[in-house]
Amino acid sequence: MNNRKVLMAMSGGLDSSIAAMLLQEQGYELVGITMKTWDNSQSGGNSKETGCCSLDSINDARQIAVSLGFPHYVLDIRDEFNKYIVKDFVDRYLEGLTPNPCILCNTHIKWAALLKRADQLSCNYIATGHYAQITKRNARFVISKSKDKNKDQTYVLWGLKQDFLKRTLFPLGMYKKDEIRQIAYNKGFVDIADKKESYEICFIPDDDYRGFLKRQVKNLEAKVDGGNFVDSAGKILGKHKGYPFYTIGQRKGLNIAVGEPLYVKQIKPETNTIVLGKEKELYHNVFKVTGINNIKYDMIPDGLEVAVKIRYKSKEQHGRIHKIDKDNARIVLNEKVKAITPGQSAVFYENDDVVGGGFIDEVIE
């Protein structure tokens, strides 16, 4: 296997395109690959096909590869993506949770698919355009934050195992986004430099997850419409449109008037009930995390002091990890934070290093 040969994941966007250029300048031999995970016809939506899986994006990726002189392939993983990612997305909402499909996709679909194809093409490494860094320390491969803290993407990478990390390159980790854009301008790739980024879930290009759920689950509205909004004491406040269509912390669209703002505090799918509360009732500091993946340490030390992110763009909160067992832990934050949401990820940091992460399972207090 060629130890300078890299399978470069290409979306057709700015970041992966410049990542390819940087690796090529460093002397790596590249093979480009674009993964087709989804198309709009699968969702039943009317939105124009956009994002990393669109035909335009695939063609853009191919053109970059051709211009830089390396081969490019398209890998169709729609069946696996639909089976594992989309099904999980729907199932989690039906369980009253709020999933983050990008993390699950990175962990269980994209990296596995890339490494399988890398082996077939005799590539020692895979590379992506994520803003993150990997270093080897104490016989472990550690993910650290990128130079650009505003663009840092370590939150969505916590699920990557050591076997994945040891063969992964993140060429953009030591750059800021503005620097990457300027490189594109300097090299004459103006169209790529000016290309708008997509922040939507790739299989929900219209950003309407409620409509997506309705199209995926036959007669969903009829099954869940008309459940009760209740307060913390169980008093009925009104009717809602179905528990899967609400998220923890939601205020808008409740259509409940009690003289003060109310928020979604808890979702109870077994009774199709949504508990509403005042804003102060949304604040907690103790929760359980499951499915933990250790990155910096072979075993996370019990009681380790860490900074914790409970959603991608949230502010880090300091606290401690108290291990329950190998895969589960109790997180105790120093201060209460708003809307800790089951189904989302909690990622643990020591300074810039990712200690590990897991899925928020239960809010305790």
The catalytic residue positions are: 105, 202
Rounded CA gap, 328 and 21, in Å?
41
* Residue 81 burial class via C-beta count within 10 angstroms: exposed 0-12, middle 13-18, buried 19 and up: buried
Q: Where are the alpha helices (DSSP H) in the chain?
A: 14-25, 55-68, 78-80, 87-94, 101-105, 111-120, 162-165, 177-186, 190-193, 209-216, 220-224
**Which residues lie closer than 8 Å to 131 by C-beta, 6 or more apart?**
15, 146, 148, 151, 152, 153, 170, 172, 173, 175, 177
Report yes or no: 8 and 26 within 8 Å, Cβ to Cβ. no
Angle between helix 87-94 and helix 209-216 axes, rounded to 10 deg: 100
Structure tokens at 233: 């004491």
Burial 242-273 (b: 16+ CB within 10 A, else e): bbbbbbbebeeebeeeeeeebbbbbbebeebb
User: Which tokens is 85 given?
Assistant: 């990612």
Of 100, 199, 93, 117, which Cα lies nearest the Cα of 157? 100
Determine the Cα–Cα distance for residues 92 and 8; give it in Å rounded to an integer.
Answer: 31
